[in-house]
Structure 1
Amino acid sequence: MTAPTLPGFTPVLPAPAPAAEAGPAPRVLGLDLSLTSTGVCLTNGSTCRIKTRQKDGDRRLLVIRSFMRAVLLEERPHLAVVEDLPKHAKGAGITAMVHGVVRAELADAHVPYALVVPATLKAFACDHGSADKPRMAAAAFLAAGVQFDGDPGGDQCDAWWLRTAGLDWYGHPLFALPEQQRARLSKVRWPNLAGVAR
């Protein structure tokens, strides 16, 4: 499988994963949405960022939409796991515009999605709901030997953890985690995936 060749795409490949459980794993995308730097984890575990320029204004939404359209066409995911909107942050309205564009593309491609609030993702990854970006990156390295070069905002790291959470929930964990961390995922409203047992 080749990754999409689009501007701003810099793939980062993860360490080899352990053998999956019986049956094929679902193809899961991880998406950490932002108007300036959206983190994407593809179904093979490689990560990239969709970077946009502030001077392009709302045309940035078109860049993100085009990139997502290409990714969905090529990857054919069973599921997208998306970091949910911040509830009280100043940037929530701006990020909501990106959510609208991406959710419309997911709907057009018939790809269900799960929304994971940041605190739940951090608690799953680090057993601490307010873990910072360096701690999230360190947890990914300790768990799977994955590093995210050129990821100053932690967008790719968060996208990688989102994909990891989806695979874990549907019975294909990439590595062992304490049960109390895995239990945090029960707070998420996960869609039923056809042909994927839970």
Structure 2
Amino acid sequence: MNQNIADLRKSYEQDELDEAQSEPDPLAQFEHWLAQALKAELPEPNAMTLATVGAEGRPSTRVVLIKGLDARGIVWYTNYESRKGIELAAHPFAALQFHWVELERVVRIEGRVEKTSAEDSDAYFHSRPLDSRLGAWASPQSRVIPSRTVLVTGAAKAAARFLGQPPRPPHWGGFRLIPERWEFWQGRRSRLHDRLRYTQQPEGGWLRERLAP
């Protein structure tokens, strides 16, 4: 390497985040920041890192795409028999992270996870492009396969079997994370970043607190 990675640094100077600027409800704050990320035309602003925990207590992460957001929580779709699906079935808690590099922002969300309804999963599945719907049948996600031929052959078989109208596979559907804790991070100069944490209260509502960077 021509450059020592320990010497890589960036000064964050685009924006600030204080209590007066932020929304009292974290969902409203997230929607505000997401709208700004969309307006800025960032590459894949809907991409989020999903962290789960396996049977041995070891964490694992992967990038998924947010597909729904409302007062009930944050939704994504996947193969229930994948590694993340199996881990969530055993330990239904997870963490999500959005990193909007160009805006110097990070959002972290933690909470309990549940499956979406079959009706919601059906509706989203049938909104997907045909190739994606066939791929859901073709890919034994997270399993070892001998070659890419397995995927191509599986998609062709699914196309022939369903005549271009594949139903939702029983092993595929949505998950919803029900937030219990949010954190909004805005980069600032001198590494004195702004961090606001929202914690759900037993009596309802959210406690908003500033954290040291």
TM normalised by structure 2 equals 0.24
Identify the structure with the greater helix proportion.
1
